[in-house]
């Protein structure tokens, strides 16, 4: 992920949950808020309710890859937190990718491509 920095501080996650816009699907929840840093920051959260460590890491890798593939299509200068839901453990990569794109579209974070 070239233009994205990882969010690691708990207070940033909490601020996004409290103040950010959100969109929810059966697989994912996405929270976003504009920042003044000039770059996008991404946080991914996978709860222990999703499964054991192997399952959680698999889900995290799939979400991260779906984001990486479409990173150039997203608006910059946003803080984004993606939260997996329990159904995400049974979903394949294509379902996760479609869900992520749908939620980013709902939050108006996709750039308009005039071709």
13 token code pair = 């996650």
pLDDT tens-digit readout, 53-107: 999 999 999 999 999 999 989 998 899 999 999 999 999 999 999 999 999 999 9
SS3 category, 93: helix
Number of domains into which the chain is organized: 1
80 token code pair = 């984004």
CATH code of the domain containing 28: 3.30.230.10
46 token code pair = 């996978």
- C-alpha to C-alpha distance for 37 and 5, rounded to whole angstroms: 11
The reported pTM is 0.91
What are the angstrom distances between the C-alpha of 90 and each of 35, 58, 71, 77? 33, 11, 24, 32
Question: Domain of 98?
Answer: 4-106
């Amino acid at each position: 992920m070239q233009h994205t920095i990882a969010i690691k501080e708990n207070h940033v996650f909490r601020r996004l949950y409290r103040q950010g816009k959100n969109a929810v699907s059966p697989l994912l929840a996405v929270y976003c808020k504009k920042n003044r840093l000039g770059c996008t920051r991404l946080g991914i959260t996978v709860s222990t309710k999703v499964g054991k460590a192997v399952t959680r890491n698999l889900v995290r890798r799939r979400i991260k890859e779906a984001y990486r593939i479409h990173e150039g299509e997203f608006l910059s200068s946003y803080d984004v937190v993606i939260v997996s839901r329990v159904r995400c453990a049974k979903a394949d990569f294509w379902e996760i990718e479609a869900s992520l794109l749908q939620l980013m579209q709902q939050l108006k974070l996709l750039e308009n491509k005039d071709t």
